[in-house]
Amino acid sequence: MVRVVFAGGGSIGLELDTGFIRAVEVRGKGGKLQVIAAAEMLIPKTAVVDGVVLEVETVSEALNRLWSQAKFSSRNVVLGMFNQSVIIRLITFPKVPKNKLEQAVRLQAGEYIPIPHAQMLLDMALVGEVDGEEGPQYELLLLAARRAQLEPSLAALKMSRLLPKVIDLAPLATMRVVPQEKLAGEVVLVDLSMGLGSVLLAVNGMPRFARVMSVGLTQFHGGLLLPFSAEEYHRQVAATLEKGSDEQGFARWGRSVAAEILTSISYHLKQENLKSVSRVLLSGIGARAEGLASLLQEELDVAVEVVQPLANILDGQTKVDVSGAEYAVSIGLALRGMEQSK
C-alpha cells in the first residue's frame, strides 16, 4: 500500500459525493487523536455523478471555498474514491520474496483484473497466507480502477492547489472508524451516500469484497431543491426521512436497500463458506433516515447499527461537530493518513 509521512502528525480526508464535498482534518499528539477542522459544502448534483467528477472547474471552486471556510492547516489530502470502474479481487498468489511481491503481481495483474495495464491504477494488500495445492501461497486483496475515471478528480485538486498524498477506497475508509470489536465475525458495511453507495463484506476485520450500490439517497428524495447552505439541506433531508412523512415511499426505498444488500453478499457468503453475517453497519447521509436501521434489521433478520464516526478518535474530543454518519468516510480517510504518519 502507499506510504506517506504527513508533516505535523495530521492528515485531511476528502470525499467527493453527489451534491456534496466533505473534508475532515485529524491531528494526533501523544497517541491521542482530535478532529481540529471539518467542513462540507453543497455542489451542483451534476458536478459529481456516480463517483466521477464531471465538472472540474465547479468542483475546484467548491474546494477553494471549503478550504477558506474550514481553515485547514495543509493542502495535502487523502482522497477517497469509489465508482463503477473500481474492481476488488481477493486472490491467492504464489509465495515469492516480499520485496519482489508487488512487481510480480503487477506483471500478472491482467490475469485477475480486466483493465488494460496502461489504463489501470493498482494497489494491493497482503491479507495472509494459505496452504495451496502447490504449497504456501499469499492471500492478496487487489484494488484496481480505470485511470480515466480518476483523472478529473485529480485535475480538480490540482486546480485548487491540493496534493493527493494517498488515494484510498471509500468503503475501506469506513472500516477505520469502526472499533475492532464491532468488526469481529462476518460484518457488512453499507455506505448510503447521495450518489452511488457501497457495500463491503469483512471477515474478522479483513475486507473480502466490495461493490457499488445503485440505491442512493437521491432515489428517495431526489426532488429536493438545493438550498443555500448544507445545514438547510440536512434539515430538508431530515424532514423527508422522518418516519411517517412518506411512509410508503420510505418503506419501498428501505426494502430496495435491503434487497441490494442481499444480492451483493449472498454469492460471496457462499464462496466464503459462511452461513450468515454477524451485523450490518450503516454509514453515509442515508444512515440518518429515521427507522431505516430497524426496517433493514427486520428485512435482513440481522442486527443493524449506525456507525459512530468518532469511535476511534482516542481522546473523544473534537473542535467541530462531525458526529453524523455522513462523516464516516472523510474521517476514515484522515485516519488512513494518520496510520501512515506513525
Residues 300, 192, single domain; the answer is yes
Residue 158 lies in a domain: no
* Claim to verify: residue 235 and residue 290 sit in the same structural domain: yes
Q: Is residue 225 part of a domain?
A: yes
Judgement on whether residues 270 and 200 belong to the same structural domain of the protein: yes
pLDDT of residue 153: 96
Q: Which residues contact 13 (CB under 8 A, 6 or more apart)?
A: 23, 24, 26, 77, 78, 80, 173, 329, 330, 331, 332, 333, 334, 335, 336, 337
Q: Is residue 30 in some structural domain? A: no
Asked, for residue 141, whether it belongs to a domain, the answer is: yes
- For residue 339, being part of any structural domain is answered with no
d(CA 322, CA 319): 9
Domain count of the chain? Answer: 2
CA atoms within 13 A on the CB side of 78: 30
Please tell me whether residues 194 and 285 are part of one structural domain. Answer: yes
What CATH number is given to the structural domain containing 251? Answer: 3.30.420.40
pLDDT along the chain (342 residues), means of 10: 44 93 86 87 90 96 96 95 88 90 91 90 84 85 89 97 92 93 93 87 87 73 48 56 58 86 80 78 88 90 94 70 92 86 42
Q: Could you tell me if 208 and 110 lie in one domain? A: no
Q: Are residues 185 and 294 in the same domain?
A: yes
- Residue 136 domain flag: yes
Q: Is residue 140 part of a domain?
A: yes
In a shared domain, residues 299 and 197: yes
Q: List the domain range (segments joined by +) for residue 234.
A: 180-307
pLDDT at 281: 97
pLDDT at position 227? 45
Q: What is the pLDDT of residue 223?
A: 47
